[in-house]
Structure 1
C-alpha cells in the first residue's frame, strides 16, 4: 500500500527576480522555507508559521496568495512517497534571517536548480514560467 503524501506549505519570497531558499544546518540542499501542515491548521497558516520559525518573517496568513501546488517525489523519504507542497507568495519589506534550524539563506534562480530536491526544482520551473524569477 502506498505511503500517504506529505502535505506541506511553503513561501515564495521573490526579490530582484530571485526567490529565497534555505539550507538546513550541515546540509547543502536548497529548499523553500516551509514545512508540514499541522492538524487543525490551514495551508496558509502553516506557511506563515514556518516562515516565522525558519526565516523570522511575520506574515499574515490572510495576506498570502497561493501560487500553485507541486506534487513530486519526496526528498529523503522511502521510495514512492510523494510530497504535495502548496506554495504561497509572500510580500514583505522585512529582512529574512536564518533561525536555529536554518544554516544559510540563498537568493536563487533556475540556474541553481541542481542544488534543489525535486519539489524545489519544480517550484523554480513554475516561478520562471510565471515570469517571477530568472
Structure 2
C-alpha cells in the first residue's frame, strides 16, 4: 500500500465549499497540497494556499477539521491519499494562480465532479449540515 499525505483548506461560504480545478484537469480538488521537508501542517497549508489562490490564511484562525482517506484520484489501485483538513479565515482576494485554472464554490450536488477523498468530505459536510 502506498500513501500520499496531503493537506486541504476547507472553506465554506453560503453553505458552499471552495474548490479548485488545475489546468488541463476535469476533476475538482479542495485547495491545499503536500508538505515540503520540515514543514508543519500550518506552514505547508499557508504556503500552498498562497501559491494556489494568492490569499493569506490567518494563522491564529487555523483549526483542525478532520482526517479523511480514500483511493488517490488518477493513481494505480492501492494508492491511498490521507487528507488532513483545516478550516481558516483568510485575507485577500481569491485568485487562481500557479497550476490552478479555476476556483469554484460547489454544493453537495457537485460532489461527483470531485476526487474520491473530497467526495467523502462532501458527505461529512452534508451530514453536518455545513453544505447544501
State the TM bucket, normalised to the shorter chain: over 0.9
Cα distance in 1 between the residues matched to 2:124 and 2:92: 24
TM-score (norm 1): 0.91
Say if 2:21 and 2:101, in contact at 8 Å, map to a contact too. Answer: yes
How many residues were matched structurally? Answer: 132
The correspondence for 1:103, drawn from 101, 104, 111, is 101
The residue number in structure 2 matching 1:26 is 24
Cα separation, 2, equivalents of 1:90 and 1:79: 33
In the alignment, which residue of structure 2 is the partner of 1:114? 112
* Deviation at residue 41 of structure 1 after TM alignment: 1.0
Match of 1:54 in 2: 52
Q: Which runs of 4+ in 1 moved over 2 A?
A: 60-63, 92-95
Matches of 1:43 and 1:100, distance apart in 2: 21
Contact 2:54-2:92 at 8 Å conserved across structures:
no
Q: Which runs of 5+ in 1 are unaligned?
A: none
| DSSP 3-state at the match of 1:54 | helix
RMSD across aligned positions (CA): 1.4
**Separation in 1, partners of 2:85, 2:37:** 18
CA-to-partner distance for each residue in 1:35-60, whole Å, 9 max, x for gaps?
Answer: 11222111222211111111111113
8 Å CA contact retained: 1:44, 1:62 = no
8 Å Cα contact 1:10-1:50 kept in structure 2 = no
Please state whether the residue corresponding to 1:10 is helix, strand or coil. Answer: strand
Q: Does 1:72 align with 2:51?
A: no
